[in-house]
């Protein structure tokens, strides 16, 4: 099946929500809605999210590393996904739909590589803001154990094992 | 017999109204391997059944 550039849509997930849950939930699927109308729909899990692989640092306590997934890594992931889709569909441009964190990456990518993005949709777009409640515990420079944030007993794999 | 026929017609009409035909879409997933890092990306795809 051949698609025009306007009919190829790539969805980018919010932070910590897998693409399948964000865009393809049975009964509420945005991908299904568009696909039924003839669009070619894709959804990317950035590395560290959903069904994509986890960097090794994610198995360590959070205090041992700087934030693992940042926009630079997600931009690399998005570039790989777009290259794959463009090659497969023989289109120059695709449409990007970014939700929350996905909107940051989609907007950044569209600004840097406008020749690859035909249309841009930003949903619940993030903007510059400060959220000390999330970042302050990890910025504590006091080496005293009492002043350090509580260390979880292991990385996400161990926490997952406890729950499954 | 006529009643049964009309009942059947009504039943079919209700079913046809309540369950509009949806175009079948198909889901597949691709795994991309990133050069150098070995990290893998999951790419979900949904489109009309061709």
pLDDT at A132: 73
Would the pLDDT of A158 be above 60? yes
CA distance A40 to A22: 17
Rounded to a whole number of angstroms, the distance from the CA of A106 to the nearest CA of chain B is: 16
Would the pLDDT of A36 be above 80? yes
B21 touching chain A per CB within 8 A: no
Chain B residues with CB under 8 Å of A29 CB are 46
The larger pLDDT score, comparing residue A42 to residue A152, is at A42
The larger pLDDT score, comparing residue A95 to residue A157, is at A95
Note the pLDDT tens digit of each residue in A17-35: 999 999 999 999 999 999 9
pLDDT at A121: 97
The larger pLDDT score, comparing residue A150 to residue A59, is at A59
Lowest mean pLDDT among A47-56, A109-118, A127-136, A141-150: A141-150
Chain A residues with CB under 8 Å of B22 CB are 36
CA distances from A74 to A3, A7, A29, B4, B15 (A): 26, 23, 24, 63, 47
Rounded to a whole number of angstroms, the distance from the CA of B8 to the nearest CA of chain A is: 30
Most confident residue range from A55-59, A145-149, B2-6: A55-59
Would the pLDDT of B36 be above 70? yes
Contact B41 A41 (CB under 8 A): no
């Amino acid at each position: 099946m051949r698609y025009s550039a306007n009919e190829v849509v790539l969805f980018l997930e919010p932070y910590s929500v897998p693409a399948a849950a964000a865009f393809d939930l049975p009964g509420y699927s945005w991908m299904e809605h568009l696909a039924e109308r003839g669009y070619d729909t894709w959804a990317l899990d950035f590395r560290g999210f959903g069904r994509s692989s986890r960097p090794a640092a994610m198995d360590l306590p959070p205090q041992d590393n700087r934030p693992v997934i940042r926009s630079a890594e997600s931009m690399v992931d998005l570039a790989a996904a777009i290259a794959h889709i463009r090659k497969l569909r023989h289109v120059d441009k695709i449409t990007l739909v970014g939700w929350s964190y996905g909107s940051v990456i989609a907007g950044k990518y569209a600004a840097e590589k406008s020749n690859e993005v035909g249309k841009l949709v930003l949903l619940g777009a993030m903007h510059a803001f400060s959220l000390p409640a999330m970042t302050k515990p990890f910025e504590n420079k006091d080496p005293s154990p009492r002043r350090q944030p509580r260390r979880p007993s292991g990385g996400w794999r161990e926490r997952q094992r406890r729950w499954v | 017999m006529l009643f049964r026929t009309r009942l059947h017609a009504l039943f079919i009409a209700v079913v046809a109204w309540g369950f509009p035909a949806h175009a079948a879409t198909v889901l597949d997933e691709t795994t991309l391997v990133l050069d150098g890092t070995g990290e893998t990306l999951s790419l979900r795809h949904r489109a009309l059944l061709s």
